[in-house]
Amino acid sequence: MARYLLISLFVFFIFANSNGLVFAESSYVLPYPSFMPGNKLYIISEIKDKLSKYFYFGDFGKFKYNLSQADKYLVEAKTLFEYKQYLLGYKSLQKSNEYFTNIKSNLVNAKNSGKNIEDKEKNLTEASFKHVEVLEKMKEDVPETFEWIPEKASPTTLYLKKQIEDAIEIRH
Amino acid sequence: MKISLVTYFASLLFLTFFSYAFIDPNLSYLNVLYSGFHLEYREYSSIVYLFILTALFTSCFLIINNKNQFKSPVKKIILLTIIVLFFSYPAMLSYDIFNYITTAKIAFFYNENPYLIYPIEFTGDSLLEFTRATNKTALYGPFWILLTAIPFVAGMGNFILTLFSFKAFIVLFYVGTVFLINKLDKRAVLFFALNPLVVIETLVSSHNDIVMMFFALLAFYLIKTKKTFSIFSLLGSILIKFATLFLIPVYILSFLNKIEGKKIYFFAAASMFFVFLLSPFREELYPWYAIWFIPFTAFLYKNKLLQNLILVFSFGLMLRYIPYMATGNYFGDTPVFRTVLTILPVVIFMAYAFYKKQFKIFK
């Protein structure tokens, strides 16, 4: 009995001394951050993205477009939160969520039109893992709420942690 | 003369028959005709191919150089050439036709953008079994993709019908190009229409280069009478395979009446030959790229040496298929042999032409 207790304590101490839980890191690669809000060229990159939407027609095309935009805005949100630009980061994460939500319907449409979506589903699962991985790290560093006080308007409370939790939920 | 014609047609018939020895083992639609001959007897296949090429080029050389004694109607010869080669297997020397069909399927069946979506993304599609370069997005211009809707729809979802619809579509542009050359200068027709490189790469392999050249020639044909149509025609040509972008300077000079007559064709041929020479920097010197300058050199018939040189060079380019045909290997010594086989006939011909001239001087 004492021997089992000793082994249990040993295992417990090993895990207790490690840096928290260990996750298998996703091999999915997110893009580099592009132009950030505030940069003069940001509006141009936004227009380019909006226009390129029409180039990405078809279910697979839309899948690629929505996933790339979800990736882009997630990286943007992460960078902005790191610089404590909570309002801008909040908006970027909102956009990332919107694009990510669209992806599933693209796959459903592709499947309904007889396309094999196995590879795309795999791709989406990997992307989801990576997104969740990034979001979990983001959650650790942001405050619970942020009060945004615009000029000539009443202040608004941004529930940052809640938004990140919702983002994780969408990706599950 | 009769012997040349008989040899020419016998070679074409044999080529059509022989092309079926090259059926891809994965092409289930033509399983019944698959023999595996080109894989089992690589050396024999190469020898037979060389024999056909030599017979075709020799007879063509004799027909073109003795066209004054030529009694048979040119139209009938061209028509018979088309009929014989239409039934050949199109992927004997190149698999591009499968690529055209796959790209058309992505655009008009799956309704996806072929410039973004790779063929390989359509897991389970039967075309992937034999289509090459499935890990590449569309390689050609948007006008070509738009045009392929016609043969693709005509195929009605049946692969064999689609394959031959694409062949028929290319044949139409060959006929159109011959028609335009005939309109511009009757004496230029034979050199282009019977050139074995043009005939094989267009009527057997169904390369879309002929479509690009048709619109380029149409642009020059309409340059004086219908200027707007002419401009759109050149634009259409550029949006098929981009190579005719290099014709813009000659086109502008001709548009502004700065150059006229045979000079237009000379500069057009030179421009297209220049871009042809640049092609190895992009990918490779494919034999069918010669279709870019051959239509223009057809008009330069007063320069016999040049036309014969083009014919010999065409022969050299068609020999480029032999190293891979014989070894099944694209690497190792193959690129060296390809280069040697391309240049050798030209060197021999130039040496012969030089000594013939010297001999005449001494005489």
pLDDT tens string B182-215: 999 999 999 999 999 999 999 999 999 999 999 9
A9 assigned to some structural domain:
no
What is the rounded distance in angstroms from the CA atom of residue B125 to the CA atom of residue B304? 51
If you count them, how many residues does chain A have?
Answer: 172
116-145 in chain B: CB under 8 A from chain A: 116-117, 121-124
* Domains identified in chain A, total number: 1
Question: In whole angstroms, how far apart are CA B227 and each of A28, B219, B233?
Answer: 54, 8, 10
Tell me which residues of chain B, numbers 214 to 253, contact chain A at a CB-CB cutoff of 8 Å.
none
pLDDT in tens, B243-265: 999 999 999 999 999 999 999 99
Tell me, yes or no, whether A28 lies in a domain: no
* Residue A113 in domain: yes
Is the residue at A13 inside a domain?
A: no
Under a CB-based contact definition with an 8 Å cutoff, are residues A59 and A102 in contact? Answer: no
Distance CA B250, CA B271 (A): 8
Phi, psi of A158 (to 5 degrees): -100, 120
d(CA B290, CA B308): 14
Specify the higher pLDDT residue, A12 or B93: B93
Q: By the CB < 8 Å criterion, does B112 face chain A?
A: yes
B333 or B71, greater pLDDT: B333
Read off the pLDDT band of B357 (50, 70, 90): confident
Residues of A with CB under 8 A from a CB of B: 55-61, 64, 113, 115-116, 118-120
Asked if the structure places residue A21 within a domain, the reply is no
Could you tell me the residue range of the domain that residue A118 belongs to?
Answer: 33-170
For the segment B32-54, the average pLDDT, to the nearest whole number, is: 96
| Residue A77 CB coordination number (10 Å) | 30
Of A150-159, B13-22, B230-239, B311-320, the one with minimum mean pLDDT is A150-159
Q: What is the mean pLDDT of residues A92-114?
A: 96
Residue A19 confidence (pLDDT)? 44
User: What integer pLDDT is reported at residue B193 of this predicted model?
Assistant: 97
Q: What residues contact B326, with CB distance under 8 A and at least 6 apart?
A: B42, B43, B45, B46
The span from the CA of B93 to the CA of B288, in Å, is 11
> In the block, which residue shows the tokens 């139209």?
B75
Give the model's pLDDT for residue B205: 98
B307: closest CA of chain A, how far (Å)? 45
pLDDT at A25: 67
Q: Establish if A23 belongs to a structural domain.
A: no
Work out the average pLDDT over A117-136. Answer: 96
**DSSP class of residue B93?**
S
User: Residue A12 pLDDT > 80, yes or no?
Assistant: no
B296-303 average pLDDT score: 96
Residue A18 within any structural domain of the chain = no
Asked whether B195 and B60 are in contact (CB, 8 A), the reply is: yes
Chain A hits for B110, CB-CB cut-off 8 Å, are 58, 60, 113, 115
Please state, in angstroms and rounded to a whole number, the distance separating the CA atoms of residues B139 and B145.
10
The set of long-range contacts for A104-112, using a CB threshold of 8 Å and a minimum separation of 24, is A106/A59, A106/A60, A106/A62, A106/A63, A106/A66, A107/A59, A107/A63, A109/A59, A110/A59, A110/A60, A110/A63
Q: What share of chain A is helix, strand, coil (3-state, %, to 5)?
A: 65, 5, 30
The confidence score (pLDDT) of residue A155 equals 83
Cβ neighbours of A57 in B, within 8 Å: 111-113
Percentage above 70 pLDDT, chain B: 98
β-pair partners for A157: A147
